[in-house]
């Protein structure tokens, strides 16, 4: 008992000291709640939104996106195109890693090579031949022929401390190894150049970040010294935690909770048009009916996607008529949503199948916002043109194996372009599926059009932006006319923060808040 008292006494003394310390330094702490915490500290282990959010906290990229889809210098201060296949970057000087080392071009090269070996990231770097070190502060990115997305890809290069990952860990394993199943040195230790270091981490419970004192960016207004990130899985609990003041900043916010957040005077809701498009694909290989372009058009005309946005998404989405969202090069402003039931009926009666038929449909029920309800609404809408839908929805864990098997005539898929560029949509969703080239990997509809295939490849070698935009928009038009898929909407993004936390200026459509620049009043 005595011992226990002593222990308690010590703890409270420590706590007191800690609270005094925080007071004297006037430190700002941000309590942050996302729906999940990072899977690993190794930023090359998985290509996912959560890992990129972490990357922007513990690391800095060469360049990063601004809110208006422009590039902003970070660890690269200048860049210029030398020739068709080379872009030269000047690195920022005096950038320190968390380990205390100064960053050099060799670290950037090491990082690039590691990315090329990562199962998740290698595809993004497929068009790159090498990263050449010119001198200590100059590098060149060399591509296989002309490649328009060098800068887009540079947003994925977050230099890592190559010396920190040198050698073997206590199990005799290479410290730099990327291990997807099981523990590794890199998944539990990190040294980047980012605004925050990891103070402590308990998977699934919380991560504590501390501001990195030697961070190069002294001009930032960001004043957060400590971030306590807690995963809160349940949408309602996450909002309740914000409303009760237990946390300061949450994401995502489900549309059902908007009312509660908006009506509260102590918090702000921030929403923004997102870039993830939600679609249905019509399988032309499984069903001869869907090979008929009139049937496909009838389906697109029969679906009131504006109504879905209004009623099911409660305005929390932008109605889509194409894949590319506004702001992307391929966005073609003439391709508007086309709900018109009369026209759909006319197309149907003019097709080879005027009496209608039955189709199977599958959708996940926990992957996209309101995915199950959307699928049910679409099934009901299609019954009006005599297409009976046999719908099956399931959790995403079960959905993806079914999707890979192309198990239904109509399947739902949402897509976000990793490069923030239109061509990525066509490569994965619209090009003819091809095992060799890996194109059309998520084209479950088996939509195939020669013009789309060829122009996408051409556009990926065109470095003139204006010409490239023309090509991409022509592709978008072709898919639209062919009714190659059913566009529904682009999902919006939503965050909520306590008043005084200026989250508005650090969030973006890519959904990686730049927390290093966050200001708390």
Which residues of this chain interact with other proteins, rule CB under 8 A?
8, 11, 39-40, 46-48, 119-120, 122-124, 180-184, 187-188, 203-205, 230-234, 236-237, 240-241, 243-246, 366, 395-398, 400-401, 404, 415-416, 418, 428, 435, 438, 441-442
Q: How far apart are CA 453 and CA 236, in angstroms?
A: 44
CB of 256 to other proteins, least distance (A): 13
CB of 141 to other proteins, least distance (A): 20
CB of 435 to other proteins, least distance (A): 8
Which secondary structure element, helix H or strand E, spans residue 476, and what is its range?
A: helix 465-482
Considering the complex, state which of residue 271 and residue 365 has its C-beta at the smaller distance from other proteins.
365
CB of 491 to other proteins, least distance (A): 15
Considering the complex, state which of residue 400 and residue 451 has its C-beta at the smaller distance from other proteins.
400
Determine the number of helices (DSSP H) and then strands (DSSP E) in the chain: 15, 17
Q: Which two tokens stand for residue 251?
A: 């994401």
Instruction: Yes or no: say if 52 and 59 are a contact pair by the CB < 8 Å rule.
Output: no
Considering the complex, state which of residue 32 and residue 95 has its C-beta at the smaller distance from other proteins.
32
Considering the complex, state which of residue 255 and residue 364 has its C-beta at the smaller distance from other proteins.
364
CB of 180 to other proteins, least distance (A): 5
Per-residue burial over 110-148, b if 16 or more Cβ lie within 10 Å, else e, is bbbebbeebeebeebbebbeebebeeebebbbbbeebbb
CB of 133 to other proteins, least distance (A): 28
CB of 446 to other proteins, least distance (A): 16
Q: How far apart are CA 447 and CA 501, in angstroms?
A: 47
Secondary structure class of 509 (helix, strand, coil):
coil
Considering the complex, state which of residue 11 and residue 102 has its C-beta at the smaller distance from other proteins.
11
Q: What is the largest CA-CA distance in the chain?
A: 89
CB of 40 to other proteins, least distance (A): 7
Considering the complex, state which of residue 184 and residue 279 has its C-beta at the smaller distance from other proteins.
184
Considering the complex, state which of residue 55 and residue 184 has its C-beta at the smaller distance from other proteins.
184
How many CA atoms lie less than 13 Å away from 380 in the CB half-sphere? 10
Instruction: Yes or no: say if 217 and 193 are a contact pair by the CB < 8 Å rule.
Output: no
Considering the complex, state which of residue 124 and residue 515 has its C-beta at the smaller distance from other proteins.
124
* CA angle 170–97–127, rounded 5-degree value: 90
Q: How far apart are CA 169 and CA 324, in angstroms?
A: 45
Task: Give φ, ψ of 439 to 5 degrees.
Answer: -75, 160
What is the residue-wise DSSP string for 137-185? TEEEEEESS--TTHHHHHTT-----TTTT-SB-TTS-BTT---SSS--H
Considering the complex, state which of residue 10 and residue 311 has its C-beta at the smaller distance from other proteins.
10
CB of 179 to other proteins, least distance (A): 8
CB of 488 to other proteins, least distance (A): 18
Residue 9 carries which DSSP code?
H
Considering the complex, state which of residue 438 and residue 500 has its C-beta at the smaller distance from other proteins.
438
Considering the complex, state which of residue 207 and residue 347 has its C-beta at the smaller distance from other proteins.
207
Nearest CA among 55, 39, 43, 103 for reference residue 516: 55
Which residues have a Cβ under 8 Å from the Cβ of 138 and sit 6 or more positions away? 88, 89, 90, 91, 105
CB of 426 to other proteins, least distance (A): 13
What is the residue-wise DSSP string for 88-134? EEEEPSSPBPTTSPBP-HHHHHHHHHHHHH-TTTTTTTTTEEEEEEE
């Amino acid at each position: 008992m005595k011992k226990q008292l002593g222990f308690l006494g010590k703890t409270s003394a420590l706590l007191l000291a800690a609270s005094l310390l925080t007071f004297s330094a006037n430190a700002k702490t941000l309590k942050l709640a996302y729906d999940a915490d990072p899977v690993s500290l190794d930023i090359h282990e998985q290509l996912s939104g959560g890992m990129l959010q972490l990357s922007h906290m513990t690391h800095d990229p060469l360049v990063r996106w601004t809110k208006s889809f422009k590039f902003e210098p970070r660890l690269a201060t200048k860049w210029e195109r030398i020739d068709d296949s080379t872009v030269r970057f000047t690195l920022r000087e005096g950038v320190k890693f968390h380990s205390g080392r100064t960053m050099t071009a060799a670290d950037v090269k090491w990082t690039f090579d590691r990315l090329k070996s990562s199962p998740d990231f290698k595809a993004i770097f497929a068009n790159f031949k090498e990263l050449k070190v010119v001198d200590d502060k100059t590098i060149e990115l060399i591509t296989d022929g002309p490649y328009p997305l060098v800068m887009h890809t540079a947003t994925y290069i977050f230099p890592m401390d190559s010396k920190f990952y040198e050698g073997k860990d206590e199990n005799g394993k290479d410290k730099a190894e990327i291990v997807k199943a099981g523990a590794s040195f890199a998944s539990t230790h990190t040294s980047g150049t980012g605004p925050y270091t990891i103070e402590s981490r308990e998977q699934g419970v919380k991560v504590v970040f501390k501001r990195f004192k030697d961070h190069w960016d002294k001009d930032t207004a960001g004043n957060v010294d400590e971030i306590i990130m807690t995963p809160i899985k349940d949408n309602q609990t996450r909002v309740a935690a914000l409303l009760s003041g237990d946390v300061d900043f949450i994401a995502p916010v489900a549309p059902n909770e908007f009312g509660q957040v908006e009506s509260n005077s102590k918090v702000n809701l921030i929403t923004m048009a997102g870039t993830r498009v939600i679609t249905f694909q019509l399988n032309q290989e499984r069903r001869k009916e869907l090979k008929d372009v009139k049937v496909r058009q009838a389906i697109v005309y029969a679906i009131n996607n504006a109504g879905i946005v209004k009623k099911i998404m409660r305005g929390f989405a932008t109605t889509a008529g194409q894949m590319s969202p506004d702001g992307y090069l391929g966005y073609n402003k003439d391709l508007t949503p086309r709900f018109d039931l009369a026209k759909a009926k006319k197309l149907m009666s003019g097709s080879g199948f005027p009496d209608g038929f039955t189709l199977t449909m599958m959708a996940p029920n926990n992957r996209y916002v309101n995915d199950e309800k959307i699928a049910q609404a679409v099934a009901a809408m299609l019954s009006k043109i005599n297409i009976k839908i046999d719908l099956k929805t399931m959790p995403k864990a079960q959905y993806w194996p079914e999707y890979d098997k192309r198990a239904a005539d109509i399947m739902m898929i949402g897509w976000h372009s990793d490069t923030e560029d239109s061509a990525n949509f066509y490569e994965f969703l619209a090009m003819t599926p091809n095992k060799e080239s890996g194109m059309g990997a998520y084209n479950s509809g088996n939509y195939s059009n020669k013009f789309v295939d060829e122009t996408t490849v051409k556009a990926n070698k065109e470095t003139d932006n204006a010409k490239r935009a023309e090509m991409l928009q022509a592709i978008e038009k072709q898919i639209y006319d062919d009714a190659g898929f059913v566009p529904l909407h682009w999902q919006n993004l939503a965050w909520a923060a306590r008043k005084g936390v200026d989250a508005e200026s650090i969030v973006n459509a890519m959904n990686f808040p730049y927390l290093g620049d966050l200001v708390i009043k």
